[in-house]
Structure 1
Amino acid sequence: ESEMDVENGFYRQVDVGAHAHYIVAFFVLVIGTVGVTGNALVMYAFFCDKKLRTPPNFFIMNLAVSDFLMAITQSPIFFVNSLYKGWIFGETGCKMYAFCGALFGITSMINLLAISIDRYIVITKPLQAIGWTSKRRTCHIILLVWLYSLAWSLAPLLGWSSYIPEGLMTSCTWDYVTSTPANKSYTLMLCCFVFFIPLGIISYCYLCMFLAIRHASRDVQKLGSQVRKSTLIQQQSIKTEWKLAKIAFVVIIVFVLSWSPYACVTLIAWAGYGSILNPYSKAVPAVIAKASAIYNPFIYAIIHSKYR
């Protein structure tokens, strides 16, 4: 079996200096530590404080859960492999690791999509939103988010593309390097359905919210003082909703920035220019993408008054 594995190039090591592995190990260690503690604190706050348990915050909680799981499943393994300068956990380990990375990464992205749609409905259609934002419905949506992500991350285990070591061979992901029809179709569909299309919908939601709020504040200025009072109350509630939308906006921008290099590398390989990518140009985006799990607790801590 070991002979076959070597032949498949499964355990092949990349010829880079030891320092490269140690630099990666250092960053992965920091990302892991911060990601686990930061997201654990957000979960802790959510469980301790009843005031935080509102439907919109369920999404934030779900994001903290998937980021926490991302940090705890990816960083320790990535770190140990970096110290050993190669993948040491075998083929099954690689598949499990990459599956977790995909599942929790996709869940975070689709969860951001759900947050955007939720804010969009609450801000642009406040009357329809009354029945919409129940805890039960929010839980149903969160379940759908996980199922959608599960479908995409199971595919490579069931033969549509596959999970293999990547970059400095210390981490695993779907095979975007080997140019087969299955791999190419999976890479393209994955990029579209879990990155670009959600991104388009998110942008649309935010544009509409921004315009709706600008419109509402202009209307208030035109009204007389009596009408203004009742409208001001409505304004306050819209302001609160918009505050949450602003936090979500920062979260989304940061998330997209951290996954963009990865999407670019993947698409360069998909387009047939994989030969121009050296191990570093595949390893660095992977590390940046894993770091997407650490920013959110800071973002809430800085902007969200209740979490502070």
Structure 2
Amino acid sequence: MANQTVTSVSPTLSPSPGYGLVISSTVTGIFSAVGTIGNGMVITAFCTYRQVRTSANSFILSISISDIIITGFQYPVGMASSIIGAPSLGHAMCPVLGALFYFSIYVSLSSMVLIAFNRYIRVTKSPQTHMKLFSPFRSFLWILLSWVVSVLLVVPAFVGYGEFGWNRSRICGIMEGSPYSAHYVSTVYGTFYWLTFCVVVFLYVRIYLFVKHSVVTMAANQNLANPGQYVSERVIKQTKHMFIIFITFTVCTAPSVLLYSINVHVDFLPFGVIVVSFMLYRLNYVLNPFLYAWKLPLFKRAFKALIRCKRQLPFQPGAHVN
């Protein structure tokens, strides 16, 4: 896992020999299996159960699709390439695989922004405004826009601003031979990461400030003179859960993004530090579906129903879907 993890993003690492390759391949295989099963369950739950198909969960679906591209395709292909010492799908496919890796990252980042924006509108605006902006069709358009933006972000590396291909770390990724590869990582990949991070934090801070000045109550249990001024405790709880998922995403990814942005320009970071940071980065793709099951009750119910082969999500009194 160490070699696959680091070299998918970092062109500065050398392949680990002998037992290092065995450990790397074993960890990569575990991550691939667990991540593919978990993300596959998220996708299956969304497609199977009507209650799961909400606007907010459609953005989770987008993340899971991008994650399963990594765990179900990139991980096994990268592991095979590391073992044989050559692109397992051939050199012609290498630029495509490198671009696909970055594309998946951009989709995940864009989806985090959409989730935060969805929660911001849900908490601070009227239900009518939320439904107008995040109807099923418009949610699809938001997701489509995020995928189009993600495609556009990998285009520069195909027109001379960086280059995807087989690098010295025996992986299909950014090639160190291109004079603009380091700049692509810093100005396109790095800038987009930190920009989306700032936007998401800004939205959650706005939510926090709005809620802080609101009376938190359960409208169903009280006679409210003006229900519009209150924020449902359920909505706030779900928003907190999505924020925790975002924080976990940041903890897993921010160290490697920061360290790699430095290392592409000045190769001074210890090998062990880079290995650990990028192992943590890749772990994010495996953790996501289990975070949904842990923090989002609806997904927990859906996962249990899938395991029990239930075609319908069992009725649960008081359960909400959005």
- 1:307 is aligned with what amino acid? F
Shift of 1:203: 0.5
The answer as to whether partners of 2:211 and 2:231 remain within 8 angstroms in 1 is no
Shift of 1:37: 0.5
CA distance in structure 2 between the partners assigned to 1:282 and 1:87 by the alignment:
23
The answer as to whether partners of 1:247 and 1:299 remain within 8 angstroms in 2 is no
The answer as to whether partners of 1:73 and 1:100 remain within 8 angstroms in 2 is no
Comparing 296-305 with 184-193, greater Cα deviation is found at 184-193
The answer as to whether partners of 1:98 and 1:174 remain within 8 angstroms in 2 is yes
> CA 1:14–1:217 in 2, change beyond 3 Å: closer, same or farther?
same
TM-score where L is the length of structure 1: 0.82
Query: Match for residue 190 of structure 1?
Result: 188
CA distance in structure 2 between the partners assigned to 1:178 and 1:107 by the alignment:
27
Shift of 1:160: 1.7
- Match 2:243 to one of 239, 249, 262: 249
Query: Match for residue 204 of structure 1?
Result: 202
Query: Match for residue 66 of structure 2?
Result: 66
The answer as to whether partners of 2:123 and 2:231 remain within 8 angstroms in 1 is no
Query: Match for residue 212 of structure 2?
Result: 214
CA distance in structure 2 between the partners assigned to 1:183 and 1:165 by the alignment:
13
Query: Match for residue 124 of structure 1?
Result: 124
2:297 maps to 1:294: no
Query: Match for residue 143 of structure 1?
Result: 144
Shift of 1:187: 1.9
Shift of 1:138: 0.8
CA distance in structure 2 between the partners assigned to 1:229 and 1:170 by the alignment:
66
Query: Match for residue 133 of structure 1?
Result: 134
Provide the secondary structure at the position in 1 that maps to 2:173: strand
> CA 1:280–1:89 in 2, change beyond 3 Å: closer, same or farther?
farther
The answer as to whether partners of 1:28 and 1:287 remain within 8 angstroms in 2 is no
Q: Deviations over 1:249-297 (max 9, x none)?
A: 1221222222223312322134x312x2466555554443332211111
CA distance in structure 2 between the partners assigned to 1:235 and 1:84 by the alignment:
63
> CA 1:43–1:58 in 2, change beyond 3 Å: closer, same or farther?
same
Structure with bigger helix share is: 1
Structure 1 unmatched ranges of 5 or more: 1-12
Shift of 1:111: 0.6
Structure 2 unmatched ranges of 5 or more: 1-12, 301-322
- Cα-Cα RMSD: 3.0
TM-score where L is the length of structure 2: 0.79
Query: Match for residue 299 of structure 2?
Result: 307
> CA 1:16–1:228 in 2, change beyond 3 Å: closer, same or farther?
closer
Shift of 1:120: 0.9
Shift of 1:50: 0.6
- 1:18 is aligned with what amino acid? G
CA distance in structure 1 between the partners assigned to 2:108 and 2:92 by the alignment:
24
CA distance in structure 1 between the partners assigned to 2:201 and 2:107 by the alignment:
18
Shift of 1:89: 4.3
CA distance in structure 2 between the partners assigned to 1:279 and 1:87 by the alignment:
23
CA distance in structure 1 between the partners assigned to 2:92 and 2:274 by the alignment:
22
- 1:262 is aligned with what amino acid? S
Query: Match for residue 7 of structure 1?
Result: none
Report how many aligned residue pairs link the two structures. Answer: 287
CA distance in structure 2 between the partners assigned to 1:15 and 1:193 by the alignment:
28
CA distance in structure 2 between the partners assigned to 1:46 and 1:148 by the alignment:
24
> CA 1:231–1:192 in 2, change beyond 3 Å: closer, same or farther?
farther
Query: Match for residue 273 of structure 1?
Result: 266
Shift of 1:212: 1.3
The answer as to whether partners of 1:166 and 1:173 remain within 8 angstroms in 2 is yes
Which portions of structure 1, spanning 4 or more consecutive aligned residues, are displaced by more than 6 angstroms?
Answer: none
Query: Match for residue 311 of structure 2?
Result: none
Query: Match for residue 172 of structure 1?
Result: 172
Shift of 1:209: 0.8
Q: Deviations over 1:169-198 (max 9, x none)?
A: 2433224x5583x33432222244421011
Comparing 121-130 with 91-100, greater Cα deviation is found at 121-130
CA distance in structure 2 between the partners assigned to 1:303 and 1:134 by the alignment:
24
Query: Match for residue 6 of structure 1?
Result: none
Q: Deviations over 1:100-128 (max 9, x none)?
A: 11111110111111111111122122363
2:257 maps to 1:263: yes
The answer as to whether partners of 1:112 and 1:248 remain within 8 angstroms in 2 is no
> CA 1:234–1:37 in 2, change beyond 3 Å: closer, same or farther?
farther
CA distance in structure 1 between the partners assigned to 2:277 and 2:196 by the alignment:
20
